[in-house]
Amino acid sequence: MRIITAQEVAATLTFPALIAALSSAFRGNFTVPVRHHHTLDRPTDNATLLLMPAWGAGRDGTPYVGTKMVTVFPENVARGEPSVYGNYFLLAGDSGAPLAVIDGPELTAWRTAAASALAAKSLAHEDASHLTMIGAGALAAKLVRAHASVRPIRRVTLWNRGRERAEQLAHALRDGDFAITIADDREAAVRDADIVSCATLTRTPLIEGAWLKPGAHVDLVGGFTPEMREADDETIRRAGIYVDTRAGATKEAGDIVQPLVSGLLKIEDIRGDLFDLSRGKASGRKNKDEITLFKSVGTAIEDLAAAILLWEQISVA
């Protein structure tokens, strides 16, 4: 069994290859049980344990089984530690033999960003050139790079509650083929953006629908419980809504669950998920001025597709 570090993940994966692998997986035949979601009682802020299994065959027909074990401790940020820890366990699908243990946060960041970019290929305007990134956590740099791999991004505006982390993110992105600005005015940053990506753990919306210009695409990534909310009701009201998976988003994503509960959004208002978009069963953006929204909560099919791609590239190297 091989241990694959975060450094090896980053050195091996590329967004064009990973986005293609995810698209292939969403068109394929994978089994993805409902993920186990357990709340861990804490004195200050509850933590979460996630178990995400899946199995299916790679593009050459080789079978695989995989599962990701993740912990989310929001209070870690105050101690200067990551809020998310985890590992991915990849097994041979024909024998159950362990193949690899893969750094979970790095694999998750890559596949999450790739899923947003896969959606953006159908939903963001083809000429989108200005990306505003809300949040400067572990996902932010990869989200920026992933979107830039599918759209002609020339300007990136960063906003974070703490400017220091935004400055660190700007430094990490300094080799990108785009100009970077750190914004203090979140509203102005959103109003001018062609794509607004948000990756935070907020429960109070940071994106207001009244700020969105015609043709904007909203990419909501951070919230993964019904209590978390990154965009307000007006955003939902104005946008064409898409999700990564209907089963996950309608049960776990506050940006979808809360409007469903209030009656603002109906199940049939969700135009499609990544299965539909990848298989051509749902149309994407209808016109240049339409506002679109993609809500991602993550799915084990993305983890397995990324792990298979990584394993196949490393094992033949």
pTM, whole model, 2 decimals? Answer: 0.92
Q: Name all domains of the chain by residue range, CATH numbers in brackets.
A: 2-107+301-315 (3.30.1780.10), 112-298 (3.40.50.720)
Task: State the pLDDT at residue 35.
Answer: 79
Q: Could you give the CA distance from residue 67 to residue 99 in angstroms, rounded to a whole number? A: 12
CA distance 297 to 108: 11
Q: How confident is the model at residue 173 (pLDDT cuts 50, 70, 90)?
A: very high
Checking if the pLDDT of 316 tops 80, the result is no
Residue 157 has pLDDT above 80, yes or no: yes
Residue 76 in tokens: 């870690």
Contact yes or no for 140/221 (Cβ under 8 A): no
User: Is pLDDT above 70 for 152?
Assistant: yes
Mean pLDDT, rounded, for 136-158: 97
Q: Quick: pLDDT tens for 104-138.
A: 989 999 999 999 999 999 999 999 999 999 999 98
Position 224 pLDDT exceeds 90: no
Condensed to tens digits (0 to 9), the pLDDT of residues 254-284 reads 999 999 999 999 999 999 999 999 999 999 9
Q: Does residue 2 or residue 43 have the better pLDDT?
A: 2
Q: Is it the case that residue 88 has pLDDT exceeding 90?
A: yes
316 or 48, which is more confident: 48
34 pLDDT higher than 90: no
The residue with tokens 């041979």 is 92
Closest by alpha carbon to 255, among 209, 195, 286? 209
Backbone angles phi, psi at 47, to 5 degrees: -105, 175
Task: Please check the confidence at residue 60 and state whether its pLDDT lies above 90.
Answer: no
Secondary structure in 3-state letters for the chain: CEEECHHHHHHHCCHHHHHHHHHHHHHCCCECCCCEEEEECCCCCCEEEEEEEEEEECCCCCEEEEEEEEEECHHHHHHCCCCEEEEEEEEECCCCCEEEEEEHHHHHHHHHHHHHHHHHHHHCCCCCCEEEEECCCCCHHHHHHHHHHHCCCCEEEEECCCHHHHHHHHHHCCCCCCEEEECCCHHHHHHCCCEEEECCCCCCCCECHHHCCCCCEEEECCCCCCCCCCECHHHHHHCEEEECCHHHHHHHCHHHHHHHHHCCCCHHHEEECHHHHHHCCCCCCCCCCCCEEEECCCCHHHHHHHHHHHHHHHHCC
For residue 44, the model assigns a pLDDT of: 76
> Are the beta carbons of 209 and 234 closer than 8 angstroms?
yes
Cβ–Cβ under 8 Å, residues 131 and 197: yes
Angstrom distance (rounded) from CA 91 to CA 79: 34
Residue in this structure with the two tokens 């979140």, named with its chain if needed: 186
Distance in angstroms (rounded) separating the CA atoms of residues 300 and 302:
5
Q: In which band, very low, low, confident or very high, does the pLDDT at 85 lie, cut at 50, 70 and 90?
A: confident
